[in-house]
Amino acid sequence: MTFDASTTADEVLAGVDLTGRTAIVTGAGSGIGRVTAAALARAGATVVAGVRDPAAFDLPGVEARRLDLADLDQVAKFAGTFDTADMLINNAGVMACPLTRVGAGRELQFAVNHLGHFALTRHLWPALLRGADAVVVAVSSNVRPDAPIRWDDPYFVAEPYDRWAAYAQSKAANALFAAHLDVLGRPHGVRAVSVHPGAILTPLQRHLTREEMVAAGWIDAQGRAAEYFKTVEQGAATQVWAAVTPSVAGVHCADCAVTPFRPDPADAARLWALSGRLTGLPLDRVGAATGLLPG
């Protein structure tokens, strides 16, 4: 079967047996994360949803555990509940929110979209090593090669906050993270890939007004999505496809295919080092015993 922008997650997984494999999906409380978790469970995987409020989560065949990506101590606690992980779908995200600081002054979009997932992956490293052909999927966006990382001011302290620049930085970081993780993980049988799920109307847009979305051409005056928008089932397809396609590694994908975009390796390594410093997980703390990746 040929997959494209119209493909759904269930179509990707048709005939795929994931029995015996453990999948972790962050941000599975709604949107494409919820659809991803459900599709993987229907294919036989043991699925754990990382959500902020497990008591409010109800999805047949999927277990919920508390995960707040803005709280690095809680991230470590969540990761410590796993002995084995075969798939890690870093799906959770925040978009275009007002300036919000968490922890030690971290800007929320960079903290949740990138640093929380960076820390989660680092802490899950022993579990991924025990997995069978483990894969980490970073849900990015339609990143541009020139989307900047604010190396000296990632939290918008020195300069005024721009919610879209902050979002673009976090999504570029997702792609850079996956590129370098694949380099580090490849010798250990762990692959990584970043994906653009496409344009989908989900709770991700909660911080945007109706007027803003109309002005952007995303919806019309009646609230109907533009023709190029996907359904949530279609939006979940690429991350599921990347997770179950072993030949896809170290690349950026969209519409269930590999895109030409390639993150700069030097920037990817630089971001890895910066992220280690910002999360308190520096590169000199290595080894499976600590749960951290080699640098």
Catalytic residues: 167
Q: What's phi and psi for 195, nearest 5 deg?
A: -135, 150
The count of other CB atoms within 10 Å of the CB of residue 177 is 27
Residue 14 to residues 9, 19, 91, 218, 268, Cα–Cα distance (Å): 9, 14, 22, 31, 34
> How many whole angstroms separate alpha carbon 264 and alpha carbon 281?
23
Nearest to 113 by CA among 135, 129, 98, 96: 96
Per residue, the 3-state secondary structure of 159-223, as one string, reads: CCCCHHHHHHHHHHHHHHHHHHHHHHHHHHCCEEEEEECCCECCHHHHHCCHHHHHHCCCECCCC
> How many whole angstroms separate alpha carbon 269 and alpha carbon 264?
9
Q: Going by C-beta distance under 8 Å and a sequence separation of 6 or more, which residues neighbour residue 48?
A: 22, 23, 24, 25, 62, 63, 64, 65, 82
State whether residue 258 is helix, strand or coil. Answer: strand
> How many whole angstroms separate alpha carbon 182 and alpha carbon 186?
6
> How many whole angstroms separate alpha carbon 138 and alpha carbon 140?
6
Number of helices (H), then strands (E), in the chain: 11, 10
> How many whole angstroms separate alpha carbon 117 and alpha carbon 237?
20
